[in-house]
Every structure is written in C-alpha cells, then in structure tokens.
Structure 1
Amino acid sequence: MKSEIYVVSHKQTRMPEGKIYYPLQVGPAKETFKGYLRDNTGDNIADRNQNYSELTAQYWVAHNRQADVKGLVHYRRLFSDGGSHFFATVDQKYNHVMNEKQLTKLMDKYDMILPRKRNYYIETSWSHYEHIHHIKDMETTRKVLEEKYPDYVPYFDKCVQRTSAHMFNMFIAKSAIFDEYTDWLMDVLFEVEKRTDITGYTPYEQRIYGFISELLMDVWVEKNEINYTEVPVMFMGKQHWVKKITSFLMRKIKGNPNKDEK
C-alpha cells in the first residue's frame, strides 16, 4: 500500500521524518524550497491560496498525485502515534508523529482518519462562526447546498448546531474517498465564491473558504457514512493558551466587531 501524507507549509521549516511524508509548499513565494513539492504545478488553484488556505494543496493532491492513501496535515499540526503528548516538548513530539506502520494498521480497519473533535462547550459551530466571521457566508453555503446537494442539507443543519466538529482541514483517507470528498467540497466552495463579495474583509477573514470547509467535513463524512477513526493532533510549537481563551471569551461576550449588520 502506497501512502502519501502531504505536510502543507508556506515556509521552509522542520518536517516529520519517514517516507510517507511529503513537504508541500503553498503560497506566493517565488522560490521553491529545497525538497518540497509545490501546489502551483499541473492542475491547480494555487492562485486562490489567499482565500482557500490549505485547500489549494488539497486540490493539487487530489488532481495530481497517485497513491493508495492520501493525507493532508500542516507543518504546525501533525497526527500523533495515538497519544496526546500535550506536555511534551516540540522535539519530543516529533518522536511521536504517526509512522507508516501505525498508519497502515489504521487504514486496514478504516477508510478515513480525522482529528479528534474540537469542542466549543458553550457555543455551537454556527454561533462560533458568527462570532468570528461573517455569518452571511454560511447562509450562502447552505443555500448552495439546497440547490446543488439538497440531500446534504439535513446533515449540514445538524452538524452546525453541535458544539464540536472535526477541524483543521486535516485528514487521511483511501485515495478514492480523498478525491471524491475534494471534488464535492470544491464544487460547493466554487459556487459560494461566485456569490460572495469579500470587499472590506480583513486578511484573516479573506481566508473564508478554508474556514467554511472546516464545517463541511462532517457534513460529507456523515452523509456518506464514512468508516473513520479519530487520532489526536499535536501542535508543533508554543501555544498561547491565556491569549486564546481570553480572545474566545471576549468574542463570545462582545461578538465579532466586523460581522454583518442585520
């Protein structure tokens, strides 16, 4: 079984070891980093990276690579060997990255690997999006699903009202599933893009389609009854938890100052 996990990065940085890992460069840099593949070759949407984030890499993998198993992870977030290793140093975490043997064992039993769900506890995925982004864009997404994929709408409504979701646009799957999900996702997002005006959005908000896609993963997985398992994700760097928690609570109290007026 040939497995290829693509580690998406916009800069040259440390990569996990092992022949299953392929550094994949995204973004506008003119030079190609040594040892990296790049998402601006072949069939690609690399020029949309500012708005699609790591999805330009996902599209490239689906349309340009051949393997039995394909995966997408980030240089700062990697699947572990099964443990959380929350208090480990970064160097220690690199010793606990999922290896080929562990991956093969999981893929013998499952069709997809997802991160453990992120739980927001005090708000739903819909309200969380509303507090950070422009909720009209999620409303547009639902409208597109109504028109193009009506069978998915009940799953969408159910998923966005939960307080947890599989986030980060990280997953590993058998090739046919990886490609099928990617084609469906892009079909939805390209239509949303046609109907969306992002004039006045901050650079962060302009990453709109990467954010929307995080909430579409569970919709597709549940509608298609994908046999998946969850694996912990390790953050390969310092996390400023006090700042993150404070920011989360302030958005909950005050809301997003940039959100759309009703």
Structure 2
Amino acid sequence: MSVDTHESMQQIRIAVAAHKSYRMPMDDMYLPVHVGKALHPEINLGKRFVADNSGENISFLNNYYSELTALYWIWKNDNTKYKGLVHYRRHFETANVAVRVTRHDRFEKIVNEKEVAELFTDTNIILPRRRNYVIETVRSHYAHTFPVEQLDETREIIASNTKEYIEAFDDVMSGTTAHMFNMMIMRKDKLDEYCGWLFPILFELQHRIDPSIYDSFNARYPGRISEMLLDVWLKTNGYSYRELPVISTEPVNWAKKGSAFLAAKFIGKKYESSF
C-alpha cells in the first residue's frame, strides 16, 4: 500500500510508529504506522493503521531498526510534500505556551497541522529541541551506555564511503548536544536526501556487526546509531531548521533516567532496558 497525495490532497504527513494499539493524535496529518508487521502478521491494529510491510519496506528488520521501519516506509511509499516521523509515546509539542500551560490532556498539546504549516513558510526541516548531556559528549555517553564498537564501526563506514561527512561526524561526537529520538519533519526532497544517505550506512553497519549476536535490547543498535547521524547530515550540508519541544504521552520517570545516566557515567553500568 502506498499513500497517494493527489487523492488525499494532504500536504503534511507524519508517520506515528507504533507496535501496539495506542491512542493517536486526531489531526489528519498523522498517519499511524504498524511497525514490525512482517514479524507479527497475527496482530491487527485496525483500519487507521498502515502496515510497514506493505509496498517497498524493511518491516522484517524492525527488531533492529525500531521506528526506522516507519521512516523507511514513508520515504519509499508516500509522495506528500512534507513528511516526518514521531513515536507513539513521543511527539512534537506545540510552541504555544498558553496551550502547553492550560491543557491537561497531553494529546491536546501535540502540535497540529496548522502550526507545522506555518513553520514551513520559512524552513524545510523541523526537529525536536536538542538534548544536552552536559557532563558527557555524545560519543562518551554512547560508550558508557552501549557497545562503543558500534559507533567506531560507523565512523569507519563514513570515512570509507562518504568521507565528506567525517569532519562533521567527529564534531558531533565530541559535542555535548544532539537532536535525538529519530523525530523529524522535512520537505520531501530533504527527507529523500537524508534517507538516501542514512540507510546505506546502517545496512553496511548491520552487515559488519550482526545484530543477532546481542540480546533483544542491544540488537536495536541501528536505530540508536541513526539518532546521532541526523546532526552529521545537517552539519555537513549546512541545512537550517526550526525546533519544537518534545512531549511524552506518558509520565517520564526522570529519577530513574537520571540515576541510570549517572551510573553509566561514573561506574560504567550499561543500559539494559528502555526508560
């Protein structure tokens, strides 16, 4: 299944990656995508969901690529003018302070199509606000929390295949901030360019480091590595962007996240599960 822009007249379409039934934003620009459908054909999330095993897809890699199978699907199968990706539990939040303060329902704080369209009058790329690690660099944080050879092998691939990106890669890795979460909304040509650069790197990385050697949590490393590559692509090409806050649809246990971050930094305890 592909989505025909000419029939729907939709100008902005954001894939919402989900592997289970979950409340979705009601705005028409959001397209729920059932990720990993090829691995779980018995699960049916309903008519509103598009399955990521339709059209040209990498649904069978969902155990490794996580939400990126939805990004790949919308890249290959949707021709909307502006396209993007969010996660069923993590969305772009409106920049409207009054709405953020007065609305109690988290879903009412998610950015709507009108606001996104207004942002696209002076940008081609919308990203989540940068994450600041403060006491860690991007590379050291990964080294403290996951197998660092995954990051080192990524550098080797970039140095060999797209060497014009290596300076930006090193700059991003030595910095303390990054645009994380695999969240983005871009004009179609920019998303095409980004995905056309990103996925060959990840496929080669998967070829060099077989994800099946890890447990299910660590096998998802291609999806994690990709989070750090977005800024490499942006920096090399000099692309400007606008940022929006990020909102979680569920309460975040900041104490647990903070303690895990500090334990990784100071006693070398690797992450063992998502937060």
Name 1:124's counterpart in structure 2.
137
Percent identity over paired residues: 38
Residue 24 (structure 1) shift? 0.7
Q: CA-to-partner distance for each residue in 1:131-155, whole Å, 9 max, x for gaps?
A: 1111111110000001100000000
TM-score (norm 2): 0.89
SS of residue paired to 1:95 = helix
Which residue of 240, 252, 258 maps to 1:227? 240
Match of 1:255 in 2: 268
Q: Are 2:87 and 1:78 equivalent residues in the alignment? A: no
For 1:25, the equivalent position in structure 2 comes to: 34
Q: More deviation in 59-68 or 220-229? A: 220-229
Residue pair 1:84, 1:234 contacting (<8 A) in 2 also: no
Find the counterpart in structure 2 of residue 202 from structure 1. 215
Aligned length: 259
What per-residue deviation string (whole Å, max 9, x for no partner) do you get for residues 163-209 of structure 1?
Answer: 11000000000011111101110011111111113454232111010
Opposite residue 69 of structure 1, the aligned amino acid is Y
Distance in 1 of aligned mates of 2:271 and 2:25:
38
**C-alpha distance in 2 between matches for 1:20 and 1:138:** 34
TM-score, structure 1 normalization: 0.93
Structure 1 residue 92 displacement after superposition: 2.2
Instruction: Indicate the structure whose relative CO is greater, using CA pairs within 8 Å and at least 6 residues apart.
Output: 1
Gap change, CA 1:167 and 1:186, over 3 Å in 2: same
The RMSD of aligned alpha carbons is 2.1
Residue matched to 1:134? 147
2:257 maps to amino acid: K
Preserved CA contact (<8 Å) 1:51 1:208: yes
Give, in whole Å, the separation in 2 of the partners of 1:75 and 1:53.
Answer: 12
Preserved CA contact (<8 Å) 1:81 1:98:
yes
Q: Secondary structure at the match of 1:113?
A: strand
Q: Distance in 1 between matches of 2:103 and 2:137?
A: 31
**Runs of 5+ consecutive residues of structure 2 not aligned to the other structure:** 1-9
Change (3 A) 1:44 1:124: same
Equivalent of residue 94 in structure 1, options 101, 107, 112? 107
Aligned residues of 1:130 and 1:256 also touching (Cα < 8 A): no
Aligned residue in 1 for 2:230:
217
